[in-house]
Amino acid sequence: MPPNKQTILIVEDEPSLIFTLKDTLENEGYETLIAENGIDALKIVDETRPDLMILDVMLPGISGFDVCKKIRDKKLMFPIIILTARDQEIDKVTGLNIGADDYITKPFGVKELLARIQARLRRSDNYSGKKNDMITLGEVTLDLKEGVVRRPDGDVELTTREVEVIRFLANYPNEPVTRKALLENVWRYEFSSNTSTRTVDVHISKLRTKVEMRPDDPRYLVTMHGVGYMLKIS
């Protein structure tokens, strides 16, 4: 059984293949987004963070490799499966070196592709925490789906923004995340001169009062001096 409502971005310029991929994935219960070139793909990624991307290499305009590289440069780590033409061995190596998670050679069987997708989504769920709706921080449990923090002293509600902040930090467990990365990824549309890194600090302070038992001495939502913040998850 595939997980419900995971969104897969299909980046492909060949209409018949777009149709096949869309049809197959939707039949399996995934939501699909389509981009027929690299520029559109990057735009969609900025607007809606997909759970996984299927990326053709030979695209009009910028190549699939460049798309992949740009996404990884932005520190977006959702799985990317590259579609290569038959026997492009060099491309496979290049693809994995620039941050793709897997590749599949055209022509491919639908079952093989689905198996790869499922394997990648499972793996990314396990380590990224992106779709992991329950995060345990010591005595406190964050239920991100419900937007509630379960504390020994009672439940506290999280705002949508706070859930987004936690999800983004949880994509990089035990790694420093810069204020700029948080601003660009969580505050996306509102990112302007009016929105400064101070906004991030204010939200983190507020979040600490919800997720930490002692907000003045945080153990899980910690400050990395000169860098940003880190979510410590054991």
Contact residues: Ca ion, CB under 5 A: 13, 56, 58
Q: How far apart are CA 41 and CA 31, in angstroms?
A: 16
Backbone angles phi, psi at 160, to 5 degrees: -55, -40
Which of 12, 162 has the CB closer to Ca ion?
Answer: 12
**CB 58, min distance to Ca ion, A:** 4
Which of 94, 199 has the CB closer to Ca ion?
Answer: 94
Residue nearest to Ca ion (CB): 58
Q: How far apart are CA 45 and CA 11, in angstroms?
A: 11
Q: Would you tell me how many other CB atoms lie within 10 Å of the CB of residue 32? A: 17
**CB 57, min distance to Ca ion, A:** 7
Which of 58, 233 has the CB closer to Ca ion?
Answer: 58
Which of 13, 146 has the CB closer to Ca ion?
Answer: 13
Which of 58, 96 has the CB closer to Ca ion?
Answer: 58
**CB 55, min distance to Ca ion, A:** 10
Q: Would you tell me how many other CB atoms lie within 10 Å of the CB of residue 89? A: 9
| CB environment 160-179: b (16+ within 10 A), e (fewer) | eebbbbbbbbbbbeeebbbb
**CB 85, min distance to Ca ion, A:** 8
Host H or E run for residue 151: strand 148-151
**Residue 152 bridge partners (DSSP):** none
**CB 17, min distance to Ca ion, A:** 8
In the structure encoding, which two tokens stand for residue 230, read together?
């880190």
Closest listed residue to residue 232, CA positions, set 177, 190, 187, 182? 177
Which of 57, 117 has the CB closer to Ca ion?
Answer: 57
**CB 32, min distance to Ca ion, A:** 17
Q: Would you tell me how many other CB atoms lie within 10 Å of the CB of residue 233? A: 14
**Residue 7 bridge partners (DSSP):** 31
